[in-house]
Amino acid sequence: MHAPDGFIDVPVSAAAGVLAAGAIAVSLRGARRELDERTAPLAGLVAAFVFAAQMLNFPVAGGTSGHLLGGALAAILVGPYTGILCVSVVLLMQAVLFADGGLTALGVNITTMAITTAVVAYPLFRGLVTVLPRTRRSVTVASFVAALVSVPASAVVFTLLYAIGGTTDVSIGKVAAAMVGVHLLIGLGEAVITALTVGAVVAVRPDLVHGARGLRPKLKLRVDGELVDAPDAPGPAPAPARSRRKVWVTGLVTSLVLAGFVSFYASADPDGLEKVAGDHGIDKKAEEHTIADSPLADYGVKDVDNARLSGALAGVTGVGVTVVAGTAVFWVVVRGRRTDRDADTTTHDDSNV
């Protein structure tokens, strides 16, 4: 659903950019409550995994393909604020390195693909896991439903932006019906990928799934012949660094394989937005990307004639750049949290003098 330049006019694109910048600023502060030294590298890995998974277009009906948006997955794994930052990093890397998504449309894409998906999916996920039995299966089911709903929600927001600032005169009713219809199908693919990924992580390291924290069944103690809830522990014991490193390495290798090998077999059909744009004339004023001739444009390495090798090199490069950029952002967030904590401690000490 990467919108290129020219679909939406400059004023609305600028307004979306301001909205996206504000949401990112809020997310940077919110992520301080979600991240620490233990989870910051894992958040960078989530960004890299979303980048890799977005390269895997899967076929849906009518010669259309879809790909993971990733907002629901990221929000569930690392928290809604951090999830917005993860997908935003991915969209920025795609726009400036791979000419995927317009530069002036970056705010639109962050609004639809990062903000909307996280804001819709995470509260729905938390609501479901609260009312469902406290089991791993419930977490997986809630992930499926939240991801499924997030994709057509993103399509609705894009349609609203287009209704306000579209550059062509088309029937908004027809566009809305087409966008929501095709993205309901794409949402099924998103839901499967999200549920499988969250389920896999919950199975081996449930403590690393932000959205599932605090959902373990309470321990029961038998007191005077009756079962009562055991007192809450001060908190989960931190996992050994070796265990976290193993998860990180496994995730990185998986991302590299997806981007460097599996992506070669992705569907070549236009994605949902491209298909609707072509069918309804939204793309009449689409503009060529500013860096369309960049070395990595269209997920291939310039001057490498072998298509398989070119795509593999581009995919691996994208994963590497994204994990480095994402991890750097989240370490800055963690350092900001530490600075705030130190400042609070200093203020408290000074007040006691």
Give the pLDDT confidence of 25-70 residue by residue, as tens digits: 999 999 999 998 888 999 999 999 999 999 999 999 889 999 999 9
The three-state secondary structure class of 1 is coil
235 confidence band (pLDDT: 50, 70, 90): very low
CATH of the domain at 307: 1.10.1760.20
Q: Residue 66 phi/psi, 5° resolution?
A: -140, 165
Check residue 226 and give its pLDDT: 63
Whether 264 maps to a domain, the answer reads yes
Q: CB-based contacts of 290: which residues, under 8 Å, 6+ apart?
A: 5, 99, 102, 103
Whether 4 maps to a domain, the answer reads no
Q: Is the per-residue pLDDT at 316 higher than 50?
A: yes
- Measure the CA–CA gap between 166 and 161, rounded to whole angstroms: 7
Whether 145 maps to a domain, the answer reads yes
Check residue 219 and give its pLDDT: 46
Burial of 19 (0-12, 13-18, 19+ CB in 10 A): middle
204 confidence band (pLDDT: 50, 70, 90): confident
Q: Is the per-residue pLDDT at 131 higher than 80?
A: yes
Q: Is the per-residue pLDDT at 231 higher than 60?
A: no
Across the range 260-266, mean pLDDT stands at: 96
Whether 1 maps to a domain, the answer reads no
C-alpha to C-alpha distances, 225 to 91, 232, 289, nearest whole angstrom: 58, 21, 72
Q: At 304, list the tokens.
A: 């490498």
271-310: b (≥16 Cβ within 10 Å) or e: bbbbbbbebbebbeebeebeeeeeebbebbbeeeeeeeeb
208 confidence band (pLDDT: 50, 70, 90): confident
Check residue 236 and give its pLDDT: 46
Whether 305 maps to a domain, the answer reads yes
Strands 220-223 and 64-66: unpaired
Check residue 241 and give its pLDDT: 59
- Measure the CA–CA gap between 19 and 13, rounded to whole angstroms: 10
Domain count, the chain: 1
- Measure the CA–CA gap between 169 and 282, rounded to whole angstroms: 8
Q: Is the per-residue pLDDT at 234 higher than 90?
A: no
Whether 42 maps to a domain, the answer reads yes
Tokens 């937005």, residue located: 273
Check residue 115 and give its pLDDT: 98
338 confidence band (pLDDT: 50, 70, 90): low
Q: Is the per-residue pLDDT at 206 higher than 80?
A: yes
Q: Is the per-residue pLDDT at 346 higher than 90?
A: no
Where do the H-state alpha helices sit in the chain? Answer: 10-34, 40-54, 71-78, 80-97, 106-109, 116-131, 136-165, 172-204, 241-260, 272-280, 307-351
Entry pTM: 0.89
Whether 353 maps to a domain, the answer reads no
Check residue 340 and give its pLDDT: 60
Whether 95 maps to a domain, the answer reads yes
Its domain, for residue 136, covers: 10-213+241-346
